[in-house]
Structure 1
Amino acid sequence: MPKATETVLEINLNYLEQNYKYLKSKLAPNTMFLAVVKAFAYGSDQVQIAKKITELGADYLAVAYTSEGVAIRKAGIQTPILVLHPQEVNFEEIVAYNLEPSIYSARILDQFIKYTSSINKEDYPVHLKFNTGLNRLGFLKADVPQIVQKIQETTTIKVASAFSHMAASEDLTEKEFTEQQIQKFKSISNTLDGLLCYSPIKHMCNTSGILNYPDAHFNMVRSGIGLYGFGNDAKYDVYLKPIASLKTVISQLHNLDPNQSVGYNMAYKATHKMVTATLPLGHADGIYRIYGNQKGFVFINGKKAPIVGNTCMDMIMVDVTNINCKEGDEVIVFNEVHTADALATAAGTISYELVTGISQRVNRVFIF
């Protein structure tokens, strides 16, 4: 790739393919694969990622909100799409675009049955979400008889899958808790199948679940962060490649004398003669204020340059006193070597927050 001449997010679809194939290698041949493409495909580009991952053979896609699924449908992608957090106001669009809602409460179940009945739908696919310990969304095991009764009283919907979500699958110190979740979901699944008299798809594993709990793969697994190159454990860095590289350039260099300040509120003052570089990205681009004041850093000509002063809306300043560089030089914020995980950890957050926060005003460039 040519050197960056502006702030860009390079998205390497070859790395996406590598990550997908690695995760698939952990599954039994008949286990289905659901690719999570919510939040602009974890800050990259949901349409391009959905197209590529579908070409590679993903069986399902998942989004958080209905609007995300609509955008994928409008791009011509016909793969089944699970909407993880629908609201009643979304039902018309969900059906119009052949999206499949997660049904996570009695209220949403009643409302969706009412809506599909009003438009004479038959066997519309829905996905039942069960809470086994995350305590975020979902039915409990005690709800199963009432759920099934409502489903059997209508012909408008049919259960495509039942699923749950692991709360700490990446943390092996919480293995006992995760195993309890798995056993709860198995018990729920057995009860549900017995009352429904058919067996929907079952899925529980996220990326870390795929890697750490092979006995819980069931009929299908879900992967989000793993597809984008993060395995939540350093031992997977050899196999999973971050697909996104955030690059920018040096706009201007400044020579500072001791006690001169940098940026808003004089948050940083030079203790010695120093050189700073101003870069054209800031908190409106996803490099938030938490990365300021030497918590965050970038790489210029292979050397680490800490962020100094407060992050501005459209700019950050970095210390390049000991770096041989000039205006116009390329700057690496993160890539497959200098990872988003390392940058996020330094600021006390997680890679998920950093990569999903990259603003849509940052130009996306694709590597095929």
Structure 2
Amino acid sequence: MPKAQETVLEIDLSALTHNYNYLKSKLQPKTKFLAVVKAFAYGSDSVEIAKHLEKLNVDYFAVAYVKEGVALRDAGIKTPILVLHPQSINFNTLINRCLEPSIYSNHVLDEFIKITEELDVQDYPIHLKFNTGLNRLGFKDKEIENVVSKIKHSPSVKIKSLFSHLAASEDFNELHFTQFQIKTFQHIAKQFENLSGEKPWLHLCNTSGILNYPEAHFNMVRSGIGLYGFGNSVEEDKNLKPIASLKSIVSQIHTIEKDETVGYNRAYTSQGTERTATIPIGHADGINRIYGNGNGFVVINNKKAPIIGNVCMDMIMVNVTDIECKEGDEVIIFNSEYKASNLSENAKTISYEIITAVSQRVKRIFLS
């Protein structure tokens, strides 16, 4: 691969193919695959990722908000798109762009039925979300009868799927809770079927659910972080390939003497004669301030250089006293070897946070 000459995010589409195929290999042939491409496809590029996955015949996409779905439709994506957290103010746009809403409360259901009836829409596909323990969004099981009654009285909507979300499928210390969620969801699905006479698709598993709970794959699974190369465990990380590499360069090198300070608020003080390198990437690019003051590092010429002082908006400074390097040298923030998960763990956060934080001003380069 060519060396970086500026701050760039390289996205390896062959790694995406690998991850998709690996996760698909865990499924029964008829189990559908929903790819989660919210948050700019976890900080990469939702349009390019969706286009590539569409070529791989993915069954569904999911986004968080209507605006994200509109961007995919504008780019020519034809695959069905589930909107996980729609707001009623956007329902007209959602219907106009053939997006499918998650309906998670009576208020949202009433608002959506009202809009579809005003537009004289028939059998518009909706997905009912049930709360099985995450306590974030979703109907409770005691609301099933009321929900079924409302839907039966409105020909404007049709149930495409029932779904829920696992709270801790990556954590085997929470095995019993996850099994409780699975059983609760099965009970909800059975109640719904008995009351409605219908058998919609069922989906519950996220990436760790796919890997750890094959008995809960049902009709469809949803994968986000796994597609982007993280399996939420050391063992599964070995089977996946991070698709994104965040790189930059050394802008300038300084030699500072003992007791000189570096950066805003003089947050770092030199312990002796030291060399520092300034890198053109900062918290406006997604390198949060939590990575400053030794909590984060970059890699220069295969050696870790700790971030010193406070992270600036557009720059970070690192200690290169023991690293042979020069201005213009490539800098690795994370890639397939020095993973985002390693960097995030060092700062007591998670890989999801650092990869989704990469700013849209960072140039994207796509590798096939």
Q: Into which bin does the TM-score normalised by the smaller protein fall?
A: over 0.9
1:22 aligns with 2:28: no
Distance in 2 between residues matched to 1:28 and 1:83, nearest whole Å: 25
Q: Report what 1:182 is aligned to.
A: 182
1:4 aligns with 2:4: yes
Q: Report what 1:272 is aligned to.
A: 272
Residues 77-131 of structure 1, C-alpha deviations (whole Å, 9 max, x = no match): 1100000000110101100100000000000000000000001000000000000
Q: Report what 1:214 is aligned to.
A: 214
Q: Report what 2:286 is aligned to.
A: 286
Which amino acid is 1:171 matched to?
D
Which amino acid is 1:21 matched to?
N
Q: Report what 2:197 is aligned to.
A: 197
Q: Report what 2:240 is aligned to.
A: 240
Distance in 2 between residues matched to 1:187 and 1:102, nearest whole Å: 20
1:336 aligns with 2:336: yes
Distance in 1 between residues matched to 2:59 and 2:197, nearest whole Å: 24
Give the deviation of 1:54 after TM superposition. 1.3
Distance in 2 between residues matched to 1:320 and 1:200, nearest whole Å: 58
Superposition CA RMSD, Å: 0.5
Q: Report what 1:172 is aligned to.
A: 172
Distance in 1 between residues matched to 2:53 and 2:162, nearest whole Å: 23
Q: Report what 1:57 is aligned to.
A: 57
Distance in 2 between residues matched to 1:129 and 1:272, nearest whole Å: 59
Distance in 2 between residues matched to 1:192 and 1:301, nearest whole Å: 59
Q: Report what 1:310 is aligned to.
A: 310
Q: Report what 2:163 is aligned to.
A: 163
Residues 1-44 of structure 1, C-alpha deviations (whole Å, 9 max, x = no match): 21100000000000000000000000000000000000000000
Give the deviation of 1:196 after TM superposition. 1.7
Distance in 2 between residues matched to 1:35 and 1:90, nearest whole Å: 22
> What are the within-5 Å matches in structure 2 for residues 126-145 of structure 1?
126-145=126-145
Give the deviation of 1:238 after TM superposition. 2.1
Q: Report what 2:350 is aligned to.
A: 350
> What are the within-5 Å matches in structure 2 for residues 44-123 of structure 1?
44-123=44-123
Which amino acid is 2:19 matched to?
N
Q: Report what 1:33 is aligned to.
A: 33
Q: Secondary structure at the match of 1:189?
A: helix
Distance in 1 between residues matched to 2:206 and 2:88, nearest whole Å: 26
Which amino acid is 1:170 matched to?
E
Q: Secondary structure at the match of 2:53?
A: helix
Give the deviation of 1:55 after TM superposition. 1.0
Distance in 1 between residues matched to 2:40 and 2:194, nearest whole Å: 38
| Length, aligned pairs only | 368
> Structure 2: which 5+ runs fail to align?
none
Identity in percent: 61
Distance in 1 between residues matched to 2:60 and 2:332, nearest whole Å: 34
Give the deviation of 1:236 after TM superposition. 1.2
Give the deviation of 1:239 after TM superposition. 1.1
Q: Secondary structure at the match of 1:284?
A: coil
Q: Which moved more, 1:54-63 or 1:34-43?
A: 54-63
Which amino acid is 2:96 matched to?
A
Distance in 2 between residues matched to 1:172 and 1:54, nearest whole Å: 33
Distance in 1 between residues matched to 2:2 and 2:92, nearest whole Å: 45
Q: Secondary structure at the match of 1:39?
A: helix
Structure-2-length-normalised TM-score: 1.00
Give the deviation of 1:197 after TM superposition. 1.2
Give the deviation of 1:237 after TM superposition. 2.1
Which amino acid is 2:302 matched to?
G
Distance in 2 between residues matched to 1:195 and 1:57, nearest whole Å: 34
Distance in 2 between residues matched to 1:253 and 1:284, nearest whole Å: 22
Distance in 2 between residues matched to 1:53 and 1:348, nearest whole Å: 32
Q: Which moved more, 1:234-243 or 1:66-75?
A: 234-243
Q: Secondary structure at the match of 1:312?
A: coil
Q: Report what 2:361 is aligned to.
A: 361
Q: Secondary structure at the match of 1:174?
A: helix
Distance in 1 between residues matched to 2:276 and 2:102, nearest whole Å: 50
Give the deviation of 1:230 after TM superposition. 0.2
> Structure 1: which 5+ runs fail to align?
none
Q: Secondary structure at the match of 1:318?
A: strand
1:319 aligns with 2:319: yes
Q: Secondary structure at the match of 1:20?
A: helix
Distance in 2 between residues matched to 1:88 and 1:247, nearest whole Å: 40
Distance in 2 between residues matched to 1:240 and 1:57, nearest whole Å: 20
Q: Secondary structure at the match of 1:283?
A: coil
Distance in 2 between residues matched to 1:246 and 1:236, nearest whole Å: 22
Q: Report what 1:231 is aligned to.
A: 231
Distance in 2 between residues matched to 1:196 and 1:272, nearest whole Å: 75
Q: Which moved more, 1:232-241 or 1:95-104?
A: 232-241
